[in-house]
Every structure is written in structure tokens, then in C-alpha cells.
A and B are shown apart, each in its own frame.
Chain A
Amino acid sequence: NAGVMQNPRHLVRRRGQEARLRCSPMKGHSHVYWYRQLPEEGLKFMVYLQKENIIDESGMPKERFSAEFPKEGPSILRIQQVVRGDSAAYFCASSPLGPNSGANVLTFGAGSRLTVL
């Protein structure tokens, strides 16, 4: 089991371009979470998805950001028209159980570090 795989590990974009970050959850995990970590700050929840459905996107900026988790393939976090403030590490986590389970352990990927020039 390769764990949670994120790519690219590092991404550089110029202002106005699009960034697409991918996350393949652990085998058997159907719950995916995206978090953002700004420099010297903690992790902030962005969105929770279960196969083909967005369950909670309360942490996502209303504009330019979107996420999907299709039936086949990885989950994708898409940022359109990036700005310098989008520079951060974006982490994906997956779990085998839904969040309403006390035994639910989150397994994190190594993160994708976005730099906007």
C-alpha cells in the first residue's frame, strides 16, 4: 500500500495561471480531505469529499477554488487565476471511515507546495 500519493510535490505558477493538484487516497479509502498550510501557520480545512460527492466545502474560498473526487481517478484540487496569496502547502488526507467515527484515523500525503510568482 503506497499510502496517500500527492502530485506534483512542487508546482510553480505565475499569477493568473491555473494550478491542479492531485491526490490518490490509500487503497480502500473513499473519504478525502484537503487542507492548506500557509507558511508558519497551522493546517486549515478546505473541503471533504466522498466518492463523486462534495460533503463539506466550508473551508474553500468561494471563488477560483474547486475540488472533485471522480468515480475513477484521483481527487483534484483546482485553483484558477492564482494569486501570490495562494502560495502554500496543500495537503490531502484520506480515511477508510466517515468522519463521524471515533476510530477514524486520517492518513496524510506528503503535500504539494505551490509557489506563485
Chain B
Amino acid sequence: KQEVTQIPAALSVPEGENLVLNCSFTDSAIYNLQWFRQDPGKGLTSLLLIQSSQREQTSGRLNASLDKSSGRSTLYIAASQPGDSATYLCAVLNTGGFKTIFGAGTRLFVKA
């Protein structure tokens, strides 16, 4: 059974700092891994999707990596801004399955 864990559960950093969010999963047989952002009381916004054959994806100040063999992904946020404050969710789609499994998220607060 696939389990997704995100560390840390919460993180507070000063503006301008580079930071890394971690995600681990127990079953390496995945189609893809997706990082989402969720603002309080809002829906989810897809940030990056990494297919199983890929090692990383980049979008602006965000870079996500995937190491399938070790069951790990990281989301790197460069030069953090107060507007980055949100909960970041990692989710994996297993091969042969229909459901995307979510981690509990990392709650990020960037102080101005």
C-alpha cells in the first residue's frame, strides 16, 4: 500500500531564503509525482508534474526532483517570498492504479 510522507510538517523562513521541502513514498512503482499548492480555504493548484522517466522539472523559482529508486522527491523554492506562504502537497500516482495518493503537506510561512 502506497504511503506518502512529507517533512517537515511546517516551516517558517525569512523572506529571500532558499528552501527545500521533502516527500517520500513507499512504493516506487509510480507513473508520476505531482506537487501542488493549497492556500487556506482554497483548492489545489498544480505546480509541477514529474513523470516516472524524468528526474526533475523546473518552473520559475521552483524545481522538483524525483529519485524513484529511493522513493524521494524534493521541491526547491528559490528566493522565497511572502506570497509563497501556503501548504505544499506531494502526490503520487501508482502504476496500475487509478488514485493519486497525497501526503499530509508542508505548511510554509515566509516572513516579510
Q: Contact check, B31 vs A107: say whether CB atoms are below 8 A apart.
A: no
B28 within 8 A of A: no
Mark out the residues of chain B between 81 and 106 whose CB falls within 8 Å of any chain A CB in the assembled complex: 89, 91, 93, 95-105
Q: Contact check, B99 vs A104: say whether CB atoms are below 8 A apart.
A: no
- The segment out of B11-19, B39-47, B72-80 that lies at the interface is B39-47
**Interface flags, A92-117, vs B, CB<8A=1, else 0:** 01000001111111111111010000
Interchain nearest-CB distance for A53 vs B (Å) = 12
B53 within 8 A of A: yes
Also in contact, A103 and B99, with CB within 8 A (given A42-B104, A109-B43) = no
A1 within 8 A of B: no
B52 within 8 A of A: yes
Q: Contact check, A102 vs B99: say whether CB atoms are below 8 A apart.
A: no
Q: Contact check, B98 vs A48: say whether CB atoms are below 8 A apart.
A: yes
- The segment out of A13-21, A55-63, A65-73, A75-83 that lies at the interface is A55-63
Residues of B within 8 A of A55 (CB): 98
Instruction: Name the CB-closest residue of B to A56.
Output: B98
Q: Contact check, A42 vs B102: say whether CB atoms are below 8 A apart.
A: yes
Interface residues of B (CB under 8 A from A): 31-32, 34, 36, 41-46, 49, 51-53, 89, 91, 93, 95-105
Interface residues of A (CB under 8 A from B): 4, 33, 35, 41-45, 48, 55-56, 58-59, 91, 93, 99-111, 113
Q: Could you list some 18 contacts between A and B, CB below 8 A?
A: A4-B43, A33-B99, A42-B103, A43-B89, A43-B91, A45-B100, A56-B98, A59-B99, A91-B43, A99-B93, A102-B51, A102-B52, A103-B32, A104-B93, A106-B100, A107-B46, A108-B36, A108-B43
